Structure formats: C-alpha cells, structure tokens
Amino acid sequence: MASSLFVNTIHICFDSVLAMDNQGMVAMFESLVATGLKGFLGCPAVLHEAALLEFFEMRKLTERFDGHDRTYRVLFNNVRNDMRDHKNLLSLDLKTYQYKVRNQVGAAAFDVVDVSRVVKELDAKVAAVATGMDDVRKDVETTKEAISHQIPDFRAQAQENYNILTAQLSELVAYVNLGGNDKKGEDSSSRGPQPPSDDQDRPTGEGSANREAGIREGVGRNRGGSGSSGSQSRGSGSGGDGVGDPDPPHG
C-alpha cells in the first residue's frame, strides 16, 4: 500500500505523502520540505518502502507509548492528588490529635498542680501539728522538771510541818496530862484521905462500915488536935492554888 506513494523514480511523491491521513507523518514531511531535505529519501523503492513501513510501525509504537504515558500520567496525577488529600487529612488529624493531647496535658498538669497544692497544704498542716506537739512536749518537760525540783522542797516543808504538829501535839498532851494530875491532886486534897484499896474492893456493907469507922477516927483526931489540923489546912490552902479545905467547926 505504501507503493502507491511513490512514482517510478527513486524519490517520494511529497504531494501524495502530504495528503496522508496522518497528521504526524504530514507534519514530519512538511518539516523536511521546509528544511530542503527532500533528497534525504533518495534511495531504491524497496528499501524506501521497508524503511517507511518500519517508520510507520515505530510511529504506532510511539503512539501506543504516548497513550500509556498519558494513562500513567493520569494515574500518577490521581495518586499524587490522593496522596496530597491523604496528607492533608493526616495533617488535620495530626493537628487535631496534637490539640487534644495538648488539652489533656494541660488538664493533667492542672490536676498535678492541684494535687501538689493539696499535698503542700497537708504538709504545712502536718508541720504545724508537729510543731504544736513539740511545743506541748517542751511544756510538759519544763513542767515535769519544775515539779521534780519542787518535790524535795515540798517534802521538806511537809516534814517540817509534821514535826511542828508533832511537837505541838506532844506539848498539848503533856499539858493535858499535867493539868489532869494537878486536878487529881486537888480532888484528893479536897476529899480527904481515901480508904485503902482493899476496902474499896470489899462488898458494899463492909465498905460502908469501914468508912464509918474511918470517919469516927477522923473526928476523934480532929477533936484531939484541932489546932494542928487547922494550921495544916491553912498551910495547904496557902500553898495550893487558893482552894483548900474549909475550916473545921469549932466545938
């Protein structure tokens, strides 16, 4: 079919070639005509036809490659656009995640600050209580030491008071005993001679008879020596506390 493009010469019929329904070939031959390279295809018809057929095959191959290239470019562009979209989505997700993490970290830091503040307040309260306990302990130790120093003085004072009270009580007992003895002496002098203890231990009848006998004897003695007994009674009255026996009756 390519033989119809040539005449019986070794040159290409550019008029028929330029009328081909192939824009690429037409453009190529037009460029050859414009550059003055028409003699470039001066060769035998068989070789020229084989070369031209090979050229057409190469052109089809290049067109096929161009089609694949356009397809691949479209695919690459789509992949690139998808990657860009995914990148944007990933960037947006990453920014959102960073924002959330920042908020969570801020909240956690705020919670940590609150916990730290509470811990510090508790530490301050514990320190205050410990200080108060130390003060109380010091006061107790001071009071204990003061009391321990005062105990010997208190014991000495108590012992001194006890000794004073004991001495006063002893003096009081001695004074009471002395007053009782004096009173007994006065009673015995005012009652006169007492009967013997044996007479006191006898029955009532014997005791009364003995007392009557003693009274009679005393009366006889008083009659026999009234002067001596009177002087004795006056002497005893003046020597005592001013209280003596009454004067005997004059006969």
| Averaged pLDDT for residues 104-117 | 72
Residue 97, domain member (yes or no): no
φ and ψ of 243, to 5 deg: -120, 110
Residue 72, domain member (yes or no): no
25 or 133: whose pLDDT is higher? Answer: 133
Q: Which of 35-39, 119-123, 135-139, 158-162 has the lowest mean pLDDT?
A: 35-39
CA neighbor of 56 nearest in space, from 20, 31, 92, 110: 20
Cβ neighbours for 188, distance < 8 A, ≥ 6 positions apart: 194
Token representation of residue 136: 């109380």
244 or 24: whose pLDDT is higher? Answer: 24
Residue type, 213: A
Residue 34, domain member (yes or no): yes
- Please say whether the beta carbons of 50 and 3 come within 8 A: no
Cβ neighbours for 150, distance < 8 A, ≥ 6 positions apart: none
Residue type, 12: I
What burial class does residue 199 get, using C-beta atoms within 10 Å of its C-beta: 0-12 exposed, 13-18 middle, 19+ buried? Answer: middle
Token representation of residue 82: 């998808």
Residue 163, domain member (yes or no): no
Domain span holding position 20: 10-46
Q: How confident is residue 167, by pLDDT bands cut at 50, 70 and 90? A: very high
pTM: 0.25
| Averaged pLDDT for residues 216-230 | 48
Q: Which of 65-79, 155-169, 173-187 has the lowest mean pLDDT?
A: 173-187
CA distance 139 to 147: 12
- Please say whether the beta carbons of 201 and 154 come within 8 A: no
176 or 149: whose pLDDT is higher? Answer: 176
Number of H helices, E strands in the chain: 6, 0
- Please say whether the beta carbons of 8 and 15 come within 8 A: no
Q: How far is CA 191 from CA 147, 240, 241, in A?
A: 63, 15, 16
CA distance 40 to 52: 13
Residue 183, domain member (yes or no): no
pLDDT in tens, 60-105: 777 777 877 788 888 888 888 888 888 888 888 888 888 888 887 7
Share of the chain above pLDDT 90, in %: 5
| Averaged pLDDT for residues 177-195 | 62
State how many domains the chain has.
1
| Averaged pLDDT for residues 200-212 | 49
Does the structure show a pLDDT above 90 at 164?
yes
Q: In this structure, how many other beta carbons lie within 10 angstroms of the beta carbon of residue 14?
A: 15
